[in-house]
Structure 1
């Protein structure tokens, strides 16, 4: 947990710094979307292979290799920024390489958490994991903004490179996965179609994947991609204030992740609907905000809703997933975010350039409210059905 916390702090610091660097190189929202698109394409193409690798091989080794790759990328971009040679194409190339690394890191990390605890403790483990993620999301951007102001932008990239060492040490300290039953081990050697076959048949899992894809299409691009432009050109604030705005997104997200531990299974559908309503209203409020304090308030409550929805969806999927294909199911779930975001980010960025960022944010809010409302209404009895059985050699 300590290693993950330090590593995630560095990751958020670098994301804040990189967004600020790119926003200084261009005022085009489409360019920001294009950068995320280029980094997302490798994830779209390779994430299922990453899930297959997570089921077949040692997840610890996969994570160590991907951390080393990310150390090299962080140092490289930091040097380019510090020497004044950074250009948009550098960020694009680094994004593509990072996307390849993340395609293998994401399903391995998602499948590792359930592997470390008993199934009865899974909800609490996911909540703790998400609270760590969002606590660092709270502190990381603020620390990144402070480092940019005090030591220069490159320092945030170097700090991120150093932070990966803690996670590598943590991975080395873990014991290998114990061997499962003969049937489970045989299932681990099957192909990717078994993961798709399971997801297609298990309706609650499929509903959660569609819900996250909708959230990623309509809402996530605004606070994941265009927020540096929102800070620079809409609110017209400096780097440190931008860091505080991004840190405020971690406040609600952190509270939402802690809240997960208190939500009972039979009330999940209700809280998913409530989360969708909160997200819709707060995104609209963010679009209308005129001052930093208004944006911080809207962002904090917005991420409370998104964190609740992401956490509940992840818990529902992981509780139902068979151990032998958990990596592949995690990969498909991850694609509902990482696979969709490159395309939605590119589309939203182009729309923002055409109609203005405020109008695009308001439109995304309304579209999400309509889509999520229809989806959740048609799946009012989430998790009432038992998970589908998985047999070796099942056909898609």
Structure 2
């Protein structure tokens, strides 16, 4: 099948299979942590704080991580991040198994995972190009990677919902710890021919400045990074309120919460499959604009949904819009950034995506506490729609400017 063509490459196939198992465990743990924190505290603010500390390191560390990774063996960095992640998962599993329900402890371990992820995500994304021999298949590999992530987003919460109501919370955390065995085994079977890392003459802070100058000077990439940053700050964090919607607004339980997570994952898979079928990276800007508008509208409609089935339908569309927006921007950056700037460009993508979400999670938690979850989510949907419209206006203006300059040069040449 055309959609699976990147799996013919051995290294990518091993990466794909190992991550598939590990990410299911990760989403099981994510679902269990959210449910556990809200069950113990009943606080929307604490839900926002847990989301904040797990992602804020990406805002602070991602640009540094991009420069650091370019100066070191990326495969070794990836192995180290997976080992440390396994130890973190083991510590959290032990805490829950022995019923040491410490909210400060959960927050501290979530912060540690956030620090690891700042390096891990940038490293995995920058290694993708090394796993695919034919670079024309890179967009397909990125889309398959996103498909894998979002299938895990469906399976993880669905399994977690069953386990939470039958076997208990500790089993979710132990399962995530064990899932790292699969990803580490697959990593050690990979055979990547990475070029030797040449020690740069400049220091890492100079490279940070060069990376910022490159990204800010590339209008296509910078506009997408800004667009993603706004979405991550004001729209994507709507998901923080899902435990409140499931438990308080729809009088549900852990299984109801898992339905919300799973339907969003289903929508994400629909987008990922569509993107994986694209033959090239043309048309990504159009996909980004349509997806951004769909995302904002879906969040606004979800905020006002009164019936659970209707809410789950809108949740599916939020997954479609969010996945298409973030994955298309990721693909555009990886396929258009200069090779010597790819890691640094990706690090700004990670910063805008992962780094802004924690601030948004904290913000929507405070908003929901002050004015109610429906109003808070409705505001996020409106911001999403407005930001999409501004992006469309900017792109139209940029296109008109390029056409004007082209016509000007042609006119000058004819004279």
Same fold (TM over 0.5): yes
Task: Measure, in 1, the Cα distance between the counterparts of 2:119 and 2:310.
Answer: 38
Q: Which residue of 2 aligns with 1:120?
A: 136
The one-character-per-residue Cα deviations of 1:161-213 (angstroms, maximum 9, x if unpaired) are: 1111111112212224432798x977998622221111011111111111111
Q: Which residue of 2 aligns with 1:202?
A: 218
Name the count of aligned residue pairs.
Answer: 382
Residue 207 of structure 2: SS of its match in structure 1? coil
Asked if 1:314 corresponds to 2:337, the answer is no
Q: Structure 1 residue aligned with 2:163, among 141, 147, 155?
A: 147
CA contact (8 A) 2:211 2:341 kept: yes
Q: TM-score, normalised by structure 2?
A: 0.87
The one-character-per-residue Cα deviations of 1:25-83 (angstroms, maximum 9, x if unpaired) are: 22222211122222333332222222122212222221221122222222222222233
Q: Which residue of 2 aligns with 1:92?
A: 107
Q: Which residue of 1 aligns with 2:242?
A: 227
CA contact (8 A) 1:187 1:324 kept: no
- Per the TM alignment, residue 24 of structure 1 is displaced from its structure 2 partner at its CA by 0.6
Asked if 1:376 corresponds to 2:392, the answer is yes
Task: Measure, in 2, the Cα distance between the counterparts of 1:81 and 1:266.
Answer: 48
Change (3 A) 1:249 1:131: same
Bigger Rg, structure 1 or 2 = 2
Q: Which residue of 1 aligns with 2:89?
A: 74
Q: Which residue of 1 aligns with 2:66?
A: 51
Residue 100 of structure 2: SS of its match in structure 1? coil
- Per the TM alignment, residue 367 of structure 1 is displaced from its structure 2 partner at its CA by 1.3
Asked if 1:134 corresponds to 2:150, the answer is yes
Question: Within 5 Å, which residues of 2 pair with 1:296-311?
Answer: 296-311=312-327
Q: Which residue of 2 aligns with 1:110?
A: 125
CA contact (8 A) 1:208 1:313 kept: yes
Q: Which residue of 1 aligns with 2:269?
A: 254
Range with bigger deviation, 170-179 or 160-169:
170-179
- Per the TM alignment, residue 221 of structure 1 is displaced from its structure 2 partner at its CA by 0.9
Q: Which residue of 2 aligns with 1:159?
A: 175
The one-character-per-residue Cα deviations of 1:110-139 (angstroms, maximum 9, x if unpaired) are: 101122223322111111111111111111
Q: Structure 2 residue aligned with 1:241, among 256, 259, 282?
A: 256
Q: Which residue of 1 aligns with 2:6?
A: none
Q: Which residue of 1 aligns with 2:405?
A: none
Change (3 A) 1:44 1:276: closer
Residue 379 of structure 1: SS of its match in structure 2? helix
Residue 161 of structure 1: SS of its match in structure 2? helix
Range with bigger deviation, 339-348 or 309-318:
339-348
The one-character-per-residue Cα deviations of 1:185-244 (angstroms, maximum 9, x if unpaired) are: 779986222211110111111111111111112221111x22122211222211112112
User: Structure 1: 5+ residue runs without aligned partners?
Assistant: 386-396
Q: Which residue of 2 aligns with 1:4?
A: 19
Asked if 1:284 corresponds to 2:303, the answer is no
Range with bigger deviation, 341-350 or 321-330:
321-330
Residue 226 of structure 1: SS of its match in structure 2? helix
The one-character-per-residue Cα deviations of 1:243-296 (angstroms, maximum 9, x if unpaired) are: 122111111101101111345644333322221221122112211122321221
Change (3 A) 1:49 1:270: closer
Q: Which residue of 2 aligns with 1:362?
A: 378
Task: Measure, in 2, the Cα distance between the counterparts of 1:97 and 1:181.
Answer: 28
Q: Which residue of 2 aligns with 1:388?
A: none
Range with bigger deviation, 307-316 or 367-376:
367-376
CA contact (8 A) 1:188 1:324 kept: no
User: Structure 2: 5+ residue runs without aligned partners?
Assistant: 1-15, 403-415
CA contact (8 A) 2:131 2:192 kept: no
